[in-house]
Structure 1
């Protein structure tokens, strides 16, 4: 994606939330500090943009809009490539580049995050992203996790340890506790584990907990 495409995506995503001078200032901040950074820097941008108490309550919805806008750009770029892959082909390719355990891990984290639904799911995703940033990880592993959690691309090119997988899953669970309460979080954890176990009957989901 070119800087111009990214800027247009940012503007389109923020227009439902910001108008006039406020939107102009948001775009200036993007141009000056974030335009040439990787896409997973979106949470840094929003953290700074929403430091104003008047914008803080919209942060999760803004993140959702930005991620959707950037994902749409990514999809369009792939559609115009010489040999576009179908969804089924992409899924098969992803599976070929990751172990069944890694696939199960990705499925469980996404299941946990999405089980919160709506704005809460975005808040949980942001919670996991922000805490992954604080973890002591090799730069490549951190970038891969951030890009995957930002829903930009699957988690490939890295092989997380069981301990790291457990840490990320725990972050998703703690995020659920934070926004939905521990009782609801426990229910969603049990439901998510059961759903993923059915999808991966030859593996043990409990090994990731």
Structure 2
């Protein structure tokens, strides 16, 4: 176990309890685990910028960074306990909650389009697409949202999409389009997307209509 990483996690947990409720703290800790693990403590400003939306008012990043730096040099027994058990419970709950959700017709339509696109790709292309998507999703989505979309891509299960509103799924679709352009090139990407959308609309006009909100 990386003791420095555990120390950073405990310090963040100790300090953020002064500003955030438990749900927000869990989200902030998940961001830390997924995007800042292994980074030096001096990079804490980047982390605080990333979680800034969790604060009701514009936070004083300088003050919180100073508090974190103060806490990081304390002896271990001065810090809050390691919150990893809290994170593990939250992840388990999030995973179980997914299967209680039912995707809407529009979400199923989007799923049909994405599945059609992935079926067109070779095994090598899918691998490249997943690598590109992992990079882009990490920039646009955080913690549980990132996990759900990653699981969706791996499982091809539309229930994972049911967690998201139209705006988030529009962003997700944009990420997929950009990743396809990176791997396949813009011309082939437009050909694939156009062909897939056309086929879906020919097969079921209602489903095709539902797609419009994401395109």
- TM-score, normalising length: structure 2: 0.46
